Structure 1
Amino acid sequence: MDHTLKHLPLRPDYMETKQRRRDERSIERIYQHYLLERRLAAQLFNAPRSERAHIYGKVYSELFTSLPDHPQVTADRSTSTIALDLHYINVALAPGTRFLEVGCGDAEMSFAVAAKVLHAYGLDVTQELIQYERAPQNFSFLRTQSTDIALADDFIDIAYSNQLIEHLHPDDVADQMKEILRVLKPGGAYSCKTPSKITGPHDVSEYFDYQATGFHLCEYDYYSLRQLFRRCGFRKIHFFINARGLKIPFPYWLARPIEIAMITFPWLRKIKYFRSLMPLNIVGIK
């Protein structure tokens, strides 16, 4: 390690993390990001339920305005990345579909979906990252304070989130999932993608810590995510993996034993093949 970095509490594998995340910032800038995110995450995590609705938007706005070099601010999401995400849900899209992206961020996914559906809605606590000059006419942004969704019951055909539920306070996740279930039509689907805690942490704290201490307030595994969907009332639950652009069913009876093996034998987490099975791709049917 460079002697100038010895004062930083870095994990021994921090350079591997930097390369994998393709983060071009200096380690010092990453450390400043880490300190700010930890402070804001602690503020959110420790806030009582009655105050969290006002804090979600505040902490994320502060993060993005304070860090102009934050990866989400500087990201130029490639058309290939969007196309891969779009391919994952494409079979469910049709000209009459109403689509909801929960935690839309820059809304690039919603923009792409809008070309295939009746209307695309993007839901988030902040619109800091959205380039409205590029927004299709059939896109609408919905601001949420925490878990509320300002749409009517049985209105949405497909809801989608990518890297979202891990950012919610664990006491709020079920509330939002029940809101998603409320706005879905009978037979509608919620497609949720989130990183696995087995291979985590997956926020900026992975440079420094072995458990998430940043804005990933709760990371999940196959067992806990399945239980959450069942508890919230989804009628059917399916897991999938992405392999060479293909969406392949990954039954729970197979996924869970592999997950248990990786918990029991941590060295398995270093093997690329096993790591590739851990990102959680779940679809719940109302």
Structure 2
Amino acid sequence: MLKQPMGQHRPARSTNRRSQEMIRAHYQVEKALARRLRDALPEERRVLYSSLYDELYRRVPQHPQLTRKSSPSEVQQAVEAQLSFLSRFLDKAHTFLEIGPGDCALSFELAGRVRRVYAVDVSDAITRHATRPENFELFLSDGSSVPVPPGCVNVAYSNQLMEHLHPDDAWQQLRNIYEALAAGGHYVCITPNRLSGPHDVSKYFDDVATGLHLKEYTTIELQRLFRQVGFSRVTVYIGARGRYLRCPLSLVGACERLLEGLPHAWRKALVRGGAVGAVLGIRLVGTK
């Protein structure tokens, strides 16, 4: 049974092979499922996180996650692209945690480079039959829990995850990640910026995400959330294609405030220009 990974969701490359009617049908289904998740009580969401995507794929058989085929070389390229940023935080004696690992390709690769690897996801369906490294362990989550031993993780990581969480659960999950970190540990969080969105299927119809991206953030909004849960330092990185630099939060904030005041169509045009998109892509590192 195929499930949507909690993280590492890539933009659909197969959209141009779908008709407008197919895209609209996908949008209507996903918007209804997202509304159900937004309106659900906390105890209901614990079940919905892992079941809604089964329903989505059943009702939208042309979904890009079902039709996209990645070659082994493409998977390895995606892993190497993530490692180009992550490697600056990692040491062979470290314990690494990935939240929303998807097919676990990154976690499996890192198992050969660090002491121990933990992964947390809402399902083990994707990797149930995979051969797992001896120093790798997968924990199942209810959507916000991070059930690893507290204080044991040196580097935690998520890629395209935060936007899928109910806002109430995002705070709780972030707090649980903080508790899992050792003193001085880092949480590397990559998520799309609201100001360049939407980034789910609603991008074809709406100015704000209404699909299963339950909340897209700005850098400043997410930085404040990191501070609220207790991170002593939050660092912003900008860049692309393996080249990343620290950027003053004040500069990113000024850019976001400027873009916030522009019409949505103008923002989209600027993002397509390239440089603005590199600034807007959220790449935060919280330090405990």
Normalised TM-score (structure 2): 0.86
CA deviations over 1:120-170 (Å, ceiling 9, x no partner): 222111233336425333322211012111112101111000110110001
Q: Determine the C-alpha separation between the residues in 2 that align with 1:56 and 1:39.
A: 14
**Equivalent position to 2:148, from 147, 151, 158:** 151
Contact 2:13 2:64 in 1 (8 A): no
Equivalent in 35, 45, 55 of residue 38 of structure 2: 45
Q: State the shift of 1:78 in Å.
A: 3.0
Of 277, 281, 284 in structure 2, the residue corresponding to residue 282 of structure 1 is 284
**SS of the residue aligned with 1:151?**
coil
Closer, same or farther in 2 for the Cα pair 1:71/1:139, shift >3 Å? farther
Q: Note if contact 1:105-1:127 (Cα within 8 Å) is conserved in structure 2.
A: no
Distance 1:258 1:46, change over 3 A: same
Q: Does the 8 Å CA contact 1:268/1:274 hold for their aligned counterparts? A: no
Q: Secondary structure at the match of 1:262?
A: helix
- From 158, 166, 175, the equivalent of 1:161 is 158
Instruction: Letter of the 1:80 partner, please give it.
Output: Q
For residue 96 of structure 1, report the CA deviation from its aligned partner: 1.9
Counterpart for residue 187 of structure 1? 184
Distance 1:135 1:207 in 2: 39
Per-residue CA distance 1:165-195 (angstroms, 9 max, x = gap): 1100011111001100011000000000000
In the other structure, the counterpart of 2:6 is: none
Alignment of 1:16-31 (within 5 A): 21-24=12-15, 25-27=17-19, 28-31=21-24
- The DSSP-based 3-state class of the residue aligned with 1:142 is strand
Whether 1:63 aligns to 2:53 is no
Equivalent pairs: percent with the same residue? 36
Range 135-144 or range 211-220, more displaced: 135-144
Partner amino acid, structure 2, of 1:275 = G
Tell me which residue corresponds to 1:270.
Answer: 269
What CA distance in whole angstroms lies between the structure 2 residues aligned with 1:99 and 1:71? 30
Comparing 111-120 and 162-171, the one that deviates more = 111-120
Q: Is the 8 A contact 2:187 2:285 kept in 1?
A: yes
1:46 offset after TM fit, Å? 0.4
Query: What is the RMSD of the two structures over their aligned residues, measured on CA atoms?
Result: 1.9
Specify the alignment match of 1:16 in structure 2. none
Show structure 1 runs of 5+ residues with no match: 1-19
User: Which position in structure 1 is the counterpart of 2:82?
Assistant: 85
Residue 199 and residue 44 in structure 1: after superposition, are their counterparts in 2 closer, same or farther (change >3 A)?
Answer: same
| Residues 65 and 138 of structure 1, relative CA distance in 2, 3 Å threshold | farther
User: In 2, Cα distance between the equivalents of 1:99 and 1:167?
Assistant: 22
Alignment partners' CA distance in 1, 2:62 and 2:155? 33
Report the Cα distance in structure 1 between the residues aligned to 2:80 and 2:119, rounded to whole angstroms: 18
Match among 209, 214, 218 for residue 221 of structure 1: 218
Trace 1:97-176 onto structure 2 (pairs within 5 A).
Answer: 97-130=94-127, 132-176=129-173
Measured at CA, do residues 268 and 64 of structure 1 come closer, stay the same or move farther in structure 2, by a change above 3 Å? closer
Greater shift after overlay, 220-229 or 55-64?
55-64
The Cα of 1:41 is off from its aligned counterpart by 1.1
More off after superposition, 61-70 vs 205-214: 61-70
CA contact (8 A) 1:86 1:112 kept: no
- 1:189 and 1:159 mapped to 2: Cα distance? 6
Q: 1:63 to 1:139 in 2, by over 3 A?
A: farther
How many residue pairs get aligned? The number is 267
Q: Does the 8 Å CA contact 1:125/1:143 hold for their aligned counterparts?
A: yes
SS of aligned partner of 1:185: strand
Unaligned ranges ≥5, structure 2: 1-10
